[in-house]
Amino acid sequence: MTGFPERADLLIRGGHVLTMDRAFAEHSDGAVAVTAGRIVAVGPRSAAAATTAATEIDGTGTIVMPGLINTHCHAAMVLFRGLADDRDLDGFLRRVWAAETAFITPGTVGIGATLGAAEMALGGITHFADMYWHPDATVAAARRIGLSLTTGPVFVGFDGVDRLPWPARLQEAEAFLARHRGAPDLQLMAMPHSCYTLDAAQLAEVAGFATRHGLRIHIHGAESPSEMALVASQHDGARPIGVFDRAGILDRNPLIAHAVHLTEAEVARLAATGATVSHCPLSNAKLASGTAAVGALVRAGVSVSLGTDGASSGNDLDLWKAMRHAGLMQCLATQDPAALPARDLVAMATAGGAQALGLAQETGALEAGKRADILTIRLDAPHMVPLYDPYSALAYAAGREDVRDVIARGRAVVRDGRLCADIGAEISAVRALEQQIKEKGI
């Protein structure tokens, strides 16, 4: 794709451009032009020789690639990073829920989500899907840093940290949609937490809510052995995917976080209903939840993307580590070193993320017409030399420290490895909260 304009808002000139389009097109000495937040041309640098731009970034000596997409996260949970290590999902949730009950307010979500979004931006993430209490605060935090966001009203069957009983929770969900519908930087989904925190009737109500509003659903499912046992005890011996199916959740093309414990029939059912998966290998490993059968899902036609999960289970919001661990865990689980090749891992973190979110027309690849979500990756660190295969370097050697520039929706959010927003006030506020949490002795 060439067709460079005479004048652009932003031009990245030079660099090895990995488009991550369907053909995996590359330009070894390329250029990308951006106008009004959208990519208008991608091609060899020579084709952009006559183009001038208000802002020009020298991409020489970098890899230029799409921004990473984190399809499952609870950004504000950075507040509890390291507070509940070395326990399984059940033990983790008990301790974290105690801390949330005592300390979560719209204000603390705001400072936590700002740090979370900043951490993600510095690590090359330009869009994330977030499920958490008081989602308005996360919307504001993502905007403060400059990232786009998939989020929506959260549903649990009990009163929850936000102290909303069931009828009021549904009303608040309606109000949230009314406040945010149509925002160009937001994708809205209905976000029931799981089928162990909602009963069958409540899940069906959320499915109805999603249908009424034309929304997809984001939900945790089939994550760990303890969850499978809990769901069976609550739903007459059923398994999460069966519960989702009966409640109408699978009719809303859900994005399912984890999907570790699946039967062959469940994999086929997910494929048939258009469900997609956010695979969270670091969280799954750390909580000893299990290894998702990524290969079986992909072969069945399920779109599998990558998530970090929250930083209190992960324990960070690093999609480079998620890429690498996704590959390593598949090698171990299948005893096949080619189970998930490096290029597929990079695709899962970019175009695959967009696909799983239903945003493939919008982002995930460097193509004219798509949102200008673009990274430059430094290649001057010892671990990035030599560079026989850029996908291998990205999947198995690169890290957040190699992210030089991050452009999200055409705007620079990180330049030369430094965040453009000043978040000093939020860092001080989180340190003060840390003291309060320590004094409370949770």
The site for Zn ion (CB under 5 A) is made up of: 309
Our CB check for Zn ion shows the closer of 309 and 362 to be: 309
Shortest separation between residue 193's beta carbon and Zn ion, angstroms? 9
Shortest separation between residue 158's beta carbon and Zn ion, angstroms? 18
DSSP 319-347: HHHHHHHHHHHHHHHHT-TTSS-HHHHHH
Our CB check for Zn ion shows the closer of 193 and 252 to be: 193
Extract the tokens encoding 128: 């994330």
Shortest separation between residue 171's beta carbon and Zn ion, angstroms? 25
Shortest separation between residue 57's beta carbon and Zn ion, angstroms? 35
Our CB check for Zn ion shows the closer of 76 and 366 to be: 76
Our CB check for Zn ion shows the closer of 119 and 309 to be: 309
Our CB check for Zn ion shows the closer of 43 and 290 to be: 290
Cα distances (angstroms) measured from residue 380 to each of 11, 68, 125, 377, 392:
22, 21, 21, 9, 16
Extract the tokens encoding 321: 């580590």
Per the CB < 8 A criterion, the answer to whether 135 and 176 are in contact is yes
Per the CB < 8 A criterion, the answer to whether 57 and 30 are in contact is no
Shortest separation between residue 199's beta carbon and Zn ion, angstroms? 20
DSSP 152-207: --EE-SS-TTTT--HHHHHHHHHHHHHHHTT-TTEEEEEEE--SSSS-HHHHHHHH
| Number of Cβ within a 10 Å radius of residue 318 | 24
Our CB check for Zn ion shows the closer of 245 and 309 to be: 309
Which position's Cβ is nearest Zn ion? 309
Shortest separation between residue 40's beta carbon and Zn ion, angstroms? 37
DSSP 295-324: HHHHHHT-EEEE----TTTSSS--HHHHHH
